[in-house]
Amino acid sequence: MKPKTVEGLGLFLYEIFRKSLYLFWHNSLGILELYQFKNMEDQIILDDFRCDCGRLLFKGALLECKLEIKCKKCGAIKTILRSKSVCGRNEYEVDRCDFLLNVDQSGKLLSVNENMANILGYSMDETLGRLLFDFLRPEANLNEMTFLFFAADKRPFRILRNSLKHKKGSAIFFETYFLPRYNGDEFIGYTTANWVIHN
Degrees to nearest 5, angle at CA 89 with 157 and 139: 45
Q: Which of 27-31, 65-69, 126-130 has the highest mean pLDDT?
A: 126-130
Q: Which domain holds residue 28?
A: 1-36
Length of the chain: 199
Residues 98 and 45 in one domain: yes
Does the predicted TM-score (pTM) go above 0.75? Answer: no
CA 110, CA 128: separation in Å to the nearest integer? 6
Q: With helix as H, strand as E and coil as C, how does 135-157 read?
A: HECCCCCCCHHHHHHHHHCCCCE
Residues 133 and 61 in one domain: yes
* Model pLDDT for residues 120-165, shown as the tens digit of each residue: 898 888 888 899 888 888 777 677 888 888 888 888 887 777 888 8
Q: Is the pLDDT of residue 12 over 70?
A: no
Q: What is the average pLDDT across 6-27?
A: 42
Amino acid at 121: G
CATH of the domain at 137: 3.30.450.20
103 or 57: which carries more pLDDT confidence? Answer: 103
At 107 the pLDDT is 92
Residues 182 and 103 in one domain: yes
At 164 the pLDDT is 86
Contacts of 82 (CB under 8 A, 6+ apart): 61, 62, 63, 64, 65, 66, 67, 91
At 13 the pLDDT is 43
Residues 121 and 178 in one domain: yes
At 1 the pLDDT is 45
At 193 the pLDDT is 84
Q: What is the average pLDDT across 90-104?
A: 67
At 143 the pLDDT is 74
Residues 54 and 145 in one domain: yes
Tell me the average pLDDT of the chain: 69
Q: Is the pLDDT of residue 105 over 90?
A: yes
Residues 47 and 1 in one domain: no
Residues 129 and 61 in one domain: yes
Residues 20 and 68 in one domain: no
Q: How many helices (H) and strands (E) does the chain have?
A: 5, 11
Residues 60 and 99 in one domain: yes
* Model pLDDT for residues 38-64, shown as the tens digit of each residue: 444 334 445 566 788 888 876 655 544
176 or 93: which carries more pLDDT confidence? Answer: 176
Total structural domains in the chain?
2
Residues 3 and 53 in one domain: no
Residues 55 and 5 in one domain: no
Residues 28 and 67 in one domain: no
Q: What is the average pLDDT across 90-116?
A: 76
